A and B are shown apart, each in its own frame.
Chain A
Amino acid sequence: EAQVTQNPRYLITVTGKKLTVTCSQNMNHEYMSWYRQDPGLGLRQIYYSMNVEVTDKGDVPEGYKVSRKEKRNFPLILESPSPNQTSLYFCASSLILPRGRTEAFFGQGTRLTVV
């Protein structure tokens, strides 16, 4: 079954304590990305990766890091979390198929609270 798996689903942490949210996909997609969802703002892209060792900033990258050492994994790292990073986070992977079609999958979401 095609899927994107995020862990953990829920996380409460304290300001300044480094954390990592993992993301793994089993579809051999080259493109992966992270989004955060905030009320009234929809989902906004944090970082993306077009392939192994190729990452770039999205629209709201401040305070986040990513890495892409393997094609299937794309972890999101918060070196020093702050309360304004309290949000719902989604990992996504996608692929543009022949004949103009596309497939895209989202993880289950990670609810992060920083106190």
Chain B
Amino acid sequence: KAGVTQTPRYLIKTRGQQVTLSCSPISGHRSVSWYQQTPGQGLQFLFEYFSETQRNKGNFPGRFSGRQFSNSRSEMNVSTLELGDSALYLCASSLEAEIITDTQYFGPGTRLTVL
């Protein structure tokens, strides 16, 4: 069974640009979550989607947005990039995202560098 895939794996952008990251969950998984990982802030929850609906959102500015498609694939978008947006962006999928019972499977991440 293929794991969670994220594209691209590496990305370099300049301040003010926008970026779109993609995540393909494990087949059959309907929930996708996004996390930002930085050396200073650690792992922080961005948002979670289930059946194309955002169910939960973390404390990030409106520049961070996401969506989920009918095939459960998800994208996240960051507009007007800032230097502080440089991070590893991780996507995780699970069957239902009742984390207490389900297991979240993480992808390898997209490393975004903002210059």
A and B physically associate: no
